[in-house]
Structure 1
Amino acid sequence: MKKFGTAVILAGGKSKRMGFDKQLLKINERRLIDNLRKKLGDLFDEIIVVTNKSEYYLGYTDKIITDKIVGKGPLSGIHAGLVEASSQYVYFVACDMPNINLDYIRFMKKRLEKISVKACITKFGKWIEPFNAFYSKEMIDDIEKHLTQNRRSVNSLIHKLPVYYIEEEEARIFSPNWDMFLNLNTKKELNDYRNTINNQD
């Protein structure tokens, strides 16, 4: 099995704060998830979309899957992606995170090349950033045990596992304003992001 090769886009959230399904988010008339797929295609052989609305992806050539353990939040999506992935380490991003940083992904891969851990995750102060991260297929059993105990928190699981952490100071070399971890949860955040993009143009 290849060490790297698969990227997973999690697209199964409830989008309550946005007011509409974030899988349909558009930036400059193009679906955000399509922008993510295109960018990730530069670094990964296999793109997997985990979704609760597979009908949104008719005609897509990527692998479109649904949760295998339903109704347990983001960990359900991580679990499904890991089960279906064809590489040992799998890159995960959410469908509402517009700023893919390919240099940072390469940096994480390089850090993982010579060590054996179950995840590579970035710290934000004392907190962690659960996406824009790598997880190993070796976590599948850990996730299943965690969920059978009715525990859904990614953080509570991660803290029990051998993880390589990248400190905030080092990550900010690649993203000084932390925008590679930006996710769009509300219409205001979406409009602010669109305005930022338009001003750059």
Structure 2
Amino acid sequence: MHKGVLPASLVILAGGKGRRIGVGKLLLAVDGSFMIEKIISRLSPLFKEVIVSVGVGQTTIAERILKKPNSCRHVKFVEDDFEGRGPLEGLRCALRAQGTPWAFVMGCDMPYIKEEVVTLLWQFCKEGSDVVCARLRGFLEPLHAFYSPSCLPAVERAMAKGALSLKSFYGDARVSVVEEEKLAQLKDYEISFMGINTKEDLSRFLDLHSSTGD
């Protein structure tokens, strides 16, 4: 496993409307703390910089959440240029703003994320790849993956065709896939990829949080 700070950026996509859960993803909170704060506190020591990608008009509220004394310092905020273009727009704007060769991109609703899974994926980031992502149960996981700015032309070509999803440009990029058997060496690796998308998901997380204190 990699030791020390990765020469990469942590990019957290926080522009989701959270329609199924009833609140914007940026505002998900547990025990008086926003979920995104917990994620940054856990993962920021791994990365050279932290970028929070928000929707149009959301920068002010994101700054209020994360610029408190003794909270998540040194966070760079990037706002979408256009509304309604989905996570692909968030990725595009973040990659243009980053100052490192790679970005680990995740959602702000992924509180189970495990540092050892992130560092294992990092081992596959190499010259000649645009994306490094895992395949679990036969599906690629685009919101728990490393992206190089070299994929920007493919992202922009996909967006020009009206694409919204993160995987829409994969066929036009050099994607390195980390198969599940490589991840299986890590205990409970599956939960690292889980997000909070519904009220039921949130209830399960709160139950787990109260039992473990994590």
Please report the TM-score for the alignment, with normalisation by the length of structure 1: 0.91
Alignment of 1:15-164 (within 5 A): 15-52=18-55, 53-58=58-63, 60=67, 61-112=74-125, 114-164=126-176
Cα distance in 2 for partners of 1:197, 1:58 equals 26
Is 1:173 aligned to residue 176 of structure 2? no
Q: 1:71 offset after TM fit, Å?
A: 2.0
2:119 aligns to what SS in structure 1? helix
Which AA in structure 2 matches 1:121?
Answer: C
Aligned length: 198
For 1:40-74, what per-residue CA distance to the aligned partner results, in whole angstroms no more than 9, with x for missing partners?
21111210101121122235241111113432111
Tell me if the contact between 2:103 and 2:147 (Cα under 8 Å) persists in the aligned partners.
yes
Structure 1 residue ranges, 4+ long, deviating more than 3 angstroms after superposition: none
Tell me if the contact between 1:40 and 1:47 (Cα under 8 Å) persists in the aligned partners.
no
Moved more, 19-28 or 139-148: 19-28
Which AA in structure 2 matches 1:76?
Answer: E
Q: 1:37 offset after TM fit, Å?
A: 1.3
1:150 aligns to what SS in structure 2? coil
Report what 2:207 is aligned to. Answer: 195
Q: 1:126 offset after TM fit, Å?
A: 2.3
Tell me if the contact between 2:14 and 2:26 (Cα under 8 Å) persists in the aligned partners.
yes
Is 1:185 aligned to residue 197 of structure 2? yes
For 1:137-164, what per-residue CA distance to the aligned partner results, in whole angstroms no more than 9, with x for missing partners?
0011111111011122322311332111
Cα distance in 2 for partners of 1:50, 1:145 equals 20
Cα distance in 2 for partners of 1:71, 1:117 equals 29
Tell me if the contact between 2:112 and 2:193 (Cα under 8 Å) persists in the aligned partners.
yes
Cα distance in 2 for partners of 1:20, 1:57 equals 14
Cα distance in 1 for partners of 2:123, 2:109 equals 26
Q: 5+ unaligned residues in a row in structure 1: which ranges?
A: none
Cα distance in 2 for partners of 1:168, 1:143 equals 26
For 1:156-180, what per-residue CA distance to the aligned partner results, in whole angstroms no more than 9, with x for missing partners?
3113321110112222332536110
1:57 aligns to what SS in structure 2? helix
Cα distance in 2 for partners of 1:189, 1:144 equals 33
Moved more, 186-195 or 3-12: 3-12
Report what 1:4 is aligned to. Answer: 7
